Structure 1
Amino acid sequence: MNSMNQQAEEMSRYKHEVALPGGDLKIYASEQLYGTLDYKVLEMANNNLQIPGIEYMSYTPDVHVGVGTCIGTTAVWDATSGYVSPSIVGSDIGCGMRVHLTNLHMDDLREVKLRRKLVRAIERYLPMEAQERGHYSDIRLENVVRKGLHGLPNKYVPDSYTPKKSSALSHVEISRLGFDEEILNELPDMAWHRGHRQLGTLGGGNHFVEIQAIEIAEDQRGVAEAWGLQDGQIAVMIHSGSRAWGGLVNQFCTPAFAKVMGQLGLGSADPRLIFAPLAHPQAQRYVNLMYSALNYAVVNRHLIAYGVREGFRDVFGPKCELRTLYDLMHNYAWEEKTSTGSKFVHRKGATRALPAEHADNPRVYAATGHPALIPGSMGTASYIMVGQPGGEENYYSICHGAGRIRSRSATKKLVTVQEFSRSMKVGTNEEIVVNQRSLESIIDESPQAYKNVDEIIESVTGAGLAAVVAKCKPLAAIKGTK
């Protein structure tokens, strides 16, 4: 009993309750991270808590200021009488992570020259520039937004018809979300044109493809082996979202939300925070379009991975494999069944991490819980985690990355190219190869712009929300432009 009390007391150091005028906020963070939070994140939380009927709101340790709502937010309403907020979903609807496992070992990529060759090969299949068209003109966009992965031609889902190797459709958080497809007829031609052009593209900002080497955590070796992870194994981590499709959904719906709020006398101190009752026709319009963007996002990451696989095979031959470990989102809202009823859960920069035996796990991960994919900053480790039963108190939400500590403009002013270069180990045998010709062009994404990811992970594990299954060491990073 004493050990249980001691464990609970230890976990409590990573859980903070903040009573704000608008309501109660829970923050999961170490004392050190908690002490560094900007007052603006509390101000923003107070605005969010004034949305009628909100039942729960929390921040993950990577929380930082966003537009209308902080990145790192979980917010919950009743699924029938609640609200939906595009601000608590974010503009990059369906943004998320994907990891593929290869049959290569880190010794196969020991040489810096070979890593550079691989990066160049991948670039041939993955558009890097903002205006460059994706390589998938034979894919019908309407099939993608309506059917998700099931709307792709067979040749782009090569393993789905070989059951022993299949992972493309089964090892994902969602493969297709259904919705009222009639709403698609309201979208302007520009949305269809730009959405089709951008299929299979990274975008800029913090989106990336990273080639990594896996290091398994000893206390989770059984889970790692069940997932097919091996020490030294080469993995590919992908971070991207719904590109222009999701952005245009937000632009399309925002004026209507503002009008509804005016009619119903709703608002907060922040005019950028928009929301409406779920039952309102304009709210349902947004939810349906949001689900189309979630379908787009999972397909976009899938096609990025398809291109990456082609690059790997150009370098290592046709026997090189890239099996899907998992694909999940960290910007979305949807209905979830909980022990206290059906809830409409928003996650903005927060990752769902379900434990073993949870009913919402994909069948292939029912016995272990699914992989939760947490990127670091460029130049630092990333993590593969698994949810723990204690995560129920936070609706099974954990962090989504390292979290920014300074803006892009401030980073450009305060961080030198030399500092960035040292963090990427340029000129050494351990160099983290990047595809950009100049580090200066991506200095706003340097590790110095982000919190220490190890401290973020410590907060999540310390609070009992999730456990580390593997640490992923970066070997090469591929960045695009907007």
Structure 2
Amino acid sequence: MGYSRSIQLQNGNFQLYANQVIHSMIPSEVYDVANDQLQIPNQIFFSLTPDVHVNGNTCVGTTAVWDAANGYISPSIVGTDIGCGIRVYLTTLHKQDLADIRLKQKIIRAIEKFIPLTDQIPSHYRSLSLSAILQHGLPALSAKYRNKRSLSHVELSSSPVGVCVLSNISEHMKKRAENQLGTLGNGNHFIEIQSVTIPEENKEIARLWGLFEGQVIFLIHTGSRAWGKALAASYTEDFISVMEKLKLPRTPSNLLYLPLSHPVGMKYFHMMSSALNYAIVNRHLIGFGIENALKRIFGAKFQTHLLYDLMHNYALMETHQNQTYIVHRKGTTRALPALHPANPLIYNQTGHPALIPGSMGTPSYIMVGGSNGIENYYSICHGAGRIFANQTSCQQFELDGKSNTLIVDNNESVVLNRWTKERLWEESPATYKEVNQVTNTIVGAKLASIVAKCIPLIVIKAR
């Protein structure tokens, strides 16, 4: 059956990317939810990646595409963690430099001083203008916080936002958003410090990107925090009202959708864009804090370099093969190949890095777009993807309570910051698909190839 198959459902067909192992694990609930999503009119393409799982009334792993001329916008597909994504920084350190567990613990303590890990500790950046950040994204930050790579090594540095669409957001939510700038948030969001292994296949691309064997990097996974969730109260009733007026069918799971050309649909697009701006600045400020924390340990001359920042929950206007589309990605990552015109200039000759986190204690991957990318509108997986295993299956690892060190299957040790056992079970490797099977599908389907495998050394999560 290979790595990709067309699935016919009552309301239409979709493309499923899954190898034999992944395909055998997909529950019937996924197909029910996919059938629901297919009821939104005018879709020209719909697919699910191998990390697929149901989240609310939609599937994580969705790519849904419309022609821009008669396209629809769906807040349900985008979700509320708008702009959630991955940012990766390179360092000049080698994993041998972090061999001492006590040093890893010292790094954790230093980072915790710069990155609030509970909502009880407010943002260190409350003096920044929230309004400017929501409207302009990274360009709103002063030179104190930005360098040459800040705008050039990102998927999207700024999304245009009409300020009037934010006027009806409560002051309480704006204050909350101010208090959360530069903070991680809970759930599956995390900071990981990792070491790099480079396969033979893409060694030259790795070299061009500044990667080397054994290199220490750090990865940030978070999004728009409470701001993205707060927007739901401002559009939900309007969407329902307009859907009724336009006599658009309500799906069994009550998906929200409207023509993008409708004023309410366009208003949501601008509101969503404000959350994209917030999310990119949020990850940027977390990276700024981590760099300062590491300088406390390794000296003022220590430097990091941003490799790339990209999102996996959003809807964007994109041009492919001279045609403009509205592309929704919910839990999928854009992976453009070499010479695609939407690549940042710095990555035009190679394609940009596509950043795929594993689960706590398992590898993450840095990939690059492949020859068949256009078949899936250049979307690949966004991570391992949950399987919601129960706690009895979580015995694949052991925790050294004294050092708070996770011992995983390959006897590697991963040092954690302090958090509860319940959270440990929730985010353990057993609650996720095997990331190697997920990436095997992506590589087998020629949507992308692996440039680096990244092994966790330190994992930091909210408490």
TM-score between both structures, scaled by the size of structure 1? 0.92
Q: How do 1:451-462 residues align onto structure 2 when only pairs under 5 Å count?
A: 451-462=433-444
1:189 counterpart residue number: 171
Q: Is the 8 A contact 1:139 1:153 kept in 2?
A: no
Between 413-422 and 174-183, the greater mean CA deviation after superposition: 413-422
In percent, how many aligned pairs have the same letter?
Answer: 47
Structure 1 position 359 matched with structure 2 position 348:
no
TM-score between both structures, scaled by the size of structure 2? 0.96
Query: Unpaired segments of 5 or more residues in structure 1?
Result: 1-11, 161-165
| In 2: Cα distance, 1:441 partner to 1:450 partner | 14
Structure 1 position 442 matched with structure 2 position 424:
yes
Structure 1 position 66 matched with structure 2 position 55:
yes
Shift of 1:437: 4.5
The number of residue pairs the alignment matches comes to 459
User: Given the alignment, which residue of 377, 392, 403 partners 1:414?
Assistant: 392
Q: Is the 8 A contact 2:185 2:225 kept in 1?
A: yes
Opposite residue 362 of structure 1, the aligned amino acid is P
Structure 1 position 277 matched with structure 2 position 259:
yes
| In 2: Cα distance, 1:304 partner to 1:156 partner | 11
Structure 1 position 153 matched with structure 2 position 142:
yes
Opposite residue 105 of structure 1, the aligned amino acid is H
Opposite residue 167 of structure 1, the aligned amino acid is R
Opposite residue 202 of structure 2, the aligned amino acid is Q
Opposite residue 128 of structure 1, the aligned amino acid is L
| In 1: Cα distance, 2:454 partner to 2:252 partner | 39
SS at match of 1:389: coil
Shift of 1:438: 4.1
| In 1: Cα distance, 2:253 partner to 2:411 partner | 51
| In 2: Cα distance, 1:45 partner to 1:477 partner | 33
Distance change (3 Å), C-alpha of 1:432 and 1:137: same
Q: How do 1:43-442 residues align onto structure 2 when only pairs under 5 Å count?
A: 43-157=32-146, 160=147, 166-339=148-321, 341-406=323-388, 411=390, 413-415=391-393, 419-421=397-399, 424-425=406-407, 430-442=412-424
| In 1: Cα distance, 2:133 partner to 2:108 partner | 28
Query: 1:247-288 CA distances to partner (integer Å, 9 max, x unpaired)?
Result: 111232112111112222223443341111111111111000
Shift of 1:305: 0.6
| In 2: Cα distance, 1:172 partner to 1:401 partner | 19
Shift of 1:290: 0.4
Shift of 1:78: 1.2
| In 2: Cα distance, 1:268 partner to 1:227 partner | 47
| In 2: Cα distance, 1:315 partner to 1:215 partner | 25
Shift of 1:102: 0.6
Opposite residue 104 of structure 1, the aligned amino acid is L
Opposite residue 392 of structure 2, the aligned amino acid is L
| In 1: Cα distance, 2:232 partner to 2:297 partner | 40
Query: 1:77-112 CA distances to partner (integer Å, 9 max, x unpaired)?
Result: 111211110011011000000000011111110111
Opposite residue 62 of structure 2, the aligned amino acid is T
SS at match of 1:360: coil
Q: Is the 8 A contact 1:76 1:346 kept in 2?
A: yes
SS at match of 2:338: coil
SS at match of 2:167: helix
SS at match of 1:168: helix
Distance change (3 Å), C-alpha of 1:418 and 1:26: closer
| In 2: Cα distance, 1:168 partner to 1:103 partner | 19
SS at match of 1:169: helix
Query: 1:41-94 CA distances to partner (integer Å, 9 max, x unpaired)?
Result: 111111111111111100000000012210000000111211110011011000
Shift of 1:156: 1.2
| In 2: Cα distance, 1:40 partner to 1:437 partner | 32
